[in-house]
Structure 1
């Protein structure tokens, strides 16, 4: 079961006193920044991951053809410019000259082709990223600094997708010589920082790339420590052994603790991350949409946001926040209506005492509290909820994709493109990794159709239609859109609190 705010603070004080549990050397080396990240992605290959905590690191090792910074504006990356041709079915990129990978290998059009051939081929099929790029039919090398992406159909979000995750450009010769398994744990990119070492479950160390095409970083070293326990991460921040704690680590109840420390500050900005409790729609009582709607109506989500999230989030009606393209302000959440919920449950033949299991990430202290509140609300309408915490990687890799969840399960999604397609296709299209239960041919058609539409207004209309369809089927209990909350030592200067949790560290300095 989850710790309450009081329990979190108690655990925090215990962690602070247990100095032996921490690294012996504070993060005081000149030019070194130490960052607490809540999760080890397990692989540093861009095509192996969907995790925002990979991107927090990967943004500083790799580059894409395009780049999107904290202001959410798309600008040139490894491509100096691009031109859409053939009605949007071909994009020609003019590449930067003189760029090299960290191992000295040249960056050129051949590297771009290798990257996308690999992403869309057998190796990419093993990971979760390929479906984001299936609009690409082929990559054609025009010359060393010119490359075309030939598309099966126009993809209005593709240029944004090229700024992150699977589209990060990788070194052909290095991977061909060393192999994929070696590359997973010894990454090489063109980014501002070079890989030094990686200790699974412990951390990854980087050093400045003095030859970075965008200008040498002002830091000499960056170390990411994987600290799964929020109380420990905050204690390390206060002790000076960590300079930055990344989202989504910091529980709402710990924000005042950080704010009260004169050496620290809290940076909180609206972000794309949303939380929901999704339903097993295939078996058990939640296979009935009436039951799903009843469970949603039984929970006062607005009260949870107000009391537990303390102004650091907003209630949602669909699995996206207000910054998302496709957000419909006219779509309202199902009302909090316990009597209506009981009537629906009775109509569905669910008797008092029926049970549901809620699967959550064990290290998400805020969700632990939320899940307890949800369980209490469900109990009030006669449904007994048990909470089962999992280690995050186990839940994400072994439980959800395999369809082994309880009746309800936590889904936290970054939605980093700020486009509902990035969320909706992954969550609701048949056969996708994050959709282990639902198959809906009509919903599939809607999801597929909007990807080929370049008319902005028409595409937005279809995305809104998708959100309404999902709400009508009650595929999830939408909860809240979280702020991205960073804990930062005041000795850190020019830190960019990116809403998508992908801060690029080139301008950061430390006193």
Structure 2
């Protein structure tokens, strides 16, 4: 009987993967419940924050962001750096670093990684790196990054998603598909398994050059349904759950075994608004009516439980180009929204489709209700994450799509450059030559004050043209098991060795 009970206990521990102590030879495991699966292990071919939060434990950047002040950059695989002229950055690289397969880390790996994403237009993150002309290897531990024009945010580019350094020889030998099956980085944790739509498991890198990894195993589980994710947290099957719905916050706080924590983020929730000729939202009066119909403050207070700030801009405080006049604003005016529809030629209302991922269903339902009150006839389309992503990648949304966009650079270009005529083509089909010029000029302006003014002016135009209707800046929240000490980061990353198991 005792043997059966012991076997059953081992099965439970294996399935849940919850945090355990090192006593009795047990594996020390941290389990995190995300809402979506890992997109890919090709770090250049995705733009997903939850995927990056897995990858940061495997792949390391030349420079790292401070967890509380992302404008502050810390040494990573580069120990020092300096700008040698307007188009050149020199980086001194860390010595004695090995990839998970044993290959030494050298300047050749930096050159391969950055030139790959800077030159291959098919990669998702190409546009964020296309300004890199070339990477020159000075010696095994020194590189010069040469840009096509002055780049005021080079350090920000090198501290996020597509800047994790790849092993050049191994990647070229394995090919993309081979690398995705068995990815290799320099980080404190290395790949063990990926069960699609279920989990990613990493194990500690015993040859890591830095401090000894704290955990034996990291498990990132895919749990899209919030009810299931909260249940798994409350029963101890996972240690950290992302995105706690407002209705579940009190349960997490009162359970006795878990706690709730949140953090302001750079993520902004917005409505993508198609302006393709012939589409009803191509009419500026219709777009204005949509924004005026939505009570953003009530949306934040009642649906999000206060976990956000109403906004009319793509970026928030602390990021150069933030416009205080557009932040913490609410232009709710339903009577004017009704009048605008009449002026637009729709006295009896007009039909439109609002698409949303399942993770923001409650927000989408509230927006649909607001729009209905001012005579829009709304078809609400709630999509599972995979289907939503496919529609987003293929640019096949209809009039409106609810989207949360992070800002892994913590700089204005990432959220704003999507509004250039070239980048908006096929998505919103927005075009404004003044915005194009402002963003182009700002991208190479090394004068921070003037650059900030250019971004602010662009945002003022966008607030009127509404290729996106910005709703609110998110707070990102978590439920955490009491046995774990966890302080959220403003960039939403899970650096496992910053998460402690209480003794």
Q: Which residue of 2 aligns with 1:196?
A: 192
Q: Please state how far the C-alpha of 1:349 moved relative to its aligned partner.
A: 0.3
Would the aligned equivalents of 1:403 and 1:437 in 2 still touch at CA under 8 Å? Answer: no
Q: Deviations over 1:313-333 (max 9, x none)?
A: 111111222233211112364
1:25-424 matches, within 5 Å, as 25=16, 27-30=18-21, 31-71=28-68, 72=70, 73-86=72-85, 88-122=86-120, 125-246=121-242, 249-282=243-276, 283-331=278-326, 333=329, 335-362=331-358, 364=359, 367-396=360-389, 398-424=390-416
In the TM superposition, residue 435 of structure 1 has moved relative to its aligned partner by: 3.7
Offset at residue 42 of structure 1 (A): 2.7
Q: What are the Cα deviations for residues 404-445 of structure 1, in whole angstroms up to 9, with x where unaligned?
A: 112110121111222221111135452358944223333222
The alignment status of 1:471 with 2:463, answered yes or no, reads: yes
CA distance in 2 between counterparts of 1:345 and 1:508 reads 52
Q: In structure 2, how many angstroms separate the alpha carbons of the residues matched to 1:252 and 1:180? A: 41
1:485 deviates by 0.5
Name the SS of the counterpart of 2:497 in structure 1: coil
How has the CA–CA distance of structure 1 residues 221 and 204 changed in structure 2, closer, same or farther, with 3 Å as cutoff? same
Deviations 1:200-242 (A, max 9, x none): 1111110111232331211111111111111111110111110
Distance 1:369 1:428 in 2: 31
Deviation string 1:459-493 (CA, Å, 9 cap, x unpaired) is: 11011111111111022221111111011111113
Match of 1:3 in 2: none
Name 2:488's counterpart in structure 1: 497
State the alpha-carbon separation in 2 of the partners of residues 477 and 25 from structure 1. 41
SS in 2 for 1:431: helix
Is the 8 Å Cα contact of residues 47 and 166 (structure 1) preserved in structure 2? yes
Asked if the contact 2:395/2:426 (under 8 Å) is kept, the reply is no
3-state SS of 2:496 partner: coil
Work out whether residues 135 and 153 of structure 1, in 8 Å CA contact, stay in contact via their aligned partners in 2.
yes
Shift in CA distance, 344/489, structure 1 to aligned 2, threshold 3 Å: same
CA contact 2:262–2:475 (8 Å) conserved in 1: yes
Alignment match, 2:453: 461
With the length of structure 1 as denominator, give the TM-score of the two structures.
Answer: 0.90
Distance 1:423 1:300 in 2: 23
Instruction: Say whether the 8 Å CA contact 1:60–1:193 is kept in structure 2.
Output: yes
More moved, 162-171 vs 250-259? 250-259
Whole-Å separation in 1 of the counterparts to 2:342 and 2:318: 38
Contact 2:341/2:349 (<8 A) preserved: no
Distance 1:507 1:334 in 2: 37
Which residue number corresponds to residue 13 of structure 1?
none
Q: Is this contact kept in 1: 2:428–2:467, CA < 8 A?
A: no
TM-score (norm 2): 0.92
Q: State the number of aligned residues.
A: 482
Query: CA 1:22 to 1:467, structure 2 compared with 1: closer, same or farther past 3 Å?
Result: farther
Q: Provide the C-alpha distance between the structure 1 equivalents of 2:211 and 2:12, rounded to a whole number of angstroms.
A: 38
Tell me if the contact between 2:192 and 2:202 (Cα under 8 Å) persists in the aligned partners: yes
Give the 3-state SS of the residue equivalent to 2:289 in structure 1: helix
Alpha-carbon distance between aligned partners in 2 of 1:388 and 1:327, rounded to the nearest angstrom? 32
Distance, in Å, in 1 between the alignment partners of 2:12 and 2:225 is 12
Secondary structure of 1:486 counterpart: strand
1:311-359 CA distance string (max 9 Å, x none): 2111111122223321111236462112211221111101324211100
- Could you list the runs of 5+ residues in structure 2 that have no partner in the other structure? 1-10, 22-27
1:7 corresponding residue in structure 2: none
Task: State how far apart, in whole Å, the 1-side matches of 2:152 and 2:451 are.
Answer: 9
Residues 431 and 422 of structure 1, relative CA distance in 2, 3 Å threshold: closer
Give me the whole-angstrom Cα distance separating, in 1, the residues matched to 2:420 and 2:309.
Answer: 23
Q: Which moved more, 1:422-431 or 1:65-74?
A: 422-431
Q: 1:21 to 1:355 in 2, by over 3 A?
A: farther
SS of residue in 2 equivalent to 1:194 = strand
Cα 1:407–1:491 shift into 2, 3 Å: same
C-alpha separation between the residues in 2 aligned to 1:337 and 1:151? 47
Distance in 1 (CA, whole Å) between partners of 2:12 and 2:271 is 34
- Residue ranges of structure 1 left out of the alignment (5+ in a row): 1-19
